[in-house]
Chain A
Amino acid sequence: RYVRQLQRLQLLFSPTSPDSRGARQFVEEAAMDFARQHPDVVLYVSPRSGRAPVLMAEYLNGTVREELINSKTSEEIVQLATKLARQSGLDIIRIRKPFHTDNPSIQGQWHPLTNKPSALTVQGPRLQPK
């Protein structure tokens, strides 16, 4: 069954500064709808004065992602929050290969002696049975 990889979403904003206007509007209007639409997402709202507004997402594997929401509208914050809620905590870097195996070889990996006749089958002048 699907387990949401998002541990918690923390919305830190300042109650007075003009950058957090979008965050404040989000808290007043859209936060309840967001919480109802995503019942398994934990949203913490903490107003702290003197701080740039930030949306912090913590995931089950420990990664913490902070997104600045300076002067963003309420809709953009909703979109950001849904995007973070759907992600897993893996780093966003280029994946080198889309596949991975711990046991790549079943028949035994090739080594220079795989296709050479072994000592049991070689008929040389020294190995003839007496």
Chain B
Amino acid sequence: MVLLSAPRWLRSRLTDRFWRVQEVLKYARHFRGRKNRCYKLAVISVRRAFVRSTKARREKKRFLRALWITRIEAASLEHGLKYPAFISNLVKSQVELNRKVIADLAIYEPKTFKSLAALAQRRRQEGFLAALGDGKEPEGIFSRMVRHY
């Protein structure tokens, strides 16, 4: 039997294996050990890193809030107030500042923070007077709240 036409050998080869591997390795470049060079180890490590980074977004909020609270506590102790007293008296004086802003004020605007601490202290004293002392209102009172409707 004579084969009249030569068969056309169609071979398909994988030609961009390098770039497929680099897509994963580029996220592993700052890892320690062989995970930053070897693809088999890097695939596992990169997947775990991504999973951890998505889960950590919820922890980040808790972590940052705890950091702000620590900073506010340190700053208010400099002015002679403890953190629970500071925050509760600010809330009672209708100062609706969140902890992020108060922490930034304590770092970058120390005089403003001092005035906030003085406000909280004054409100605290008025609270004590209202609870313990006689029913007379002191001058320049901070405890009577204004309601806007």
Residues of A within 8 A of B (CB): 104-110, 114-115
* Pairs of residues from A and B, 8 with the lowest C-beta to C-beta distance, nearest first: A105-B108, A115-B78, A107-B109, A110-B110, A107-B111, A114-B110, A104-B108, A110-B107
Q: Does B34 have its Cβ within 8 Å of any Cβ on chain A?
A: no
Q: List 18 A-B contacts (CB under 8 A).
A: A104-B108, A105-B107, A105-B108, A105-B109, A106-B108, A106-B109, A107-B108, A107-B109, A107-B110, A107-B112, A109-B107, A110-B75, A110-B106, A110-B107, A110-B110, A114-B110, A115-B78, A115-B110
Q: Does B114 have its Cβ within 8 Å of any Cβ on chain A?
A: yes
Supposing A115-B78, A115-B79 touch, asked if A109 and B108 sit within 8 A by C-beta, the answer is: yes
B37 to chain A, nearest CB (A): 25
Is chain A's interface secondary structure helix, strand, loop, or mixed overall? loop
Q: In the complex, A105 Cα to B114 Cα: how many Å?
A: 15
Is chain B's interface secondary structure helix, strand, loop, or mixed overall? helix
CB pair A115–B114 under 8 Å, yes or no, is yes
Contacts A106-B109, A115-B110 supplied; 6 other A-B pairs, CB < 8 Å: A105-B107, A105-B109, A107-B109, A107-B112, A115-B79, A115-B114
Q: In the complex, A109 Cα to B106 Cα: how many Å?
A: 9
B141 to chain A, nearest CB (A): 27
A38 to chain B, nearest CB (A): 34
With a cutoff of 8 Å between Cβ atoms, the chain A residues found around residue B79 in the complex are 115
With a cutoff of 8 Å between Cβ atoms, the chain A residues found around residue B107 in the complex are 105, 109-110
Q: In the complex, A105 Cα to B107 Cα: how many Å?
A: 8
With a cutoff of 8 Å between Cβ atoms, the chain B residues found around residue A114 in the complex are 110
With a cutoff of 8 Å between Cβ atoms, the chain B residues found around residue A104 in the complex are 108
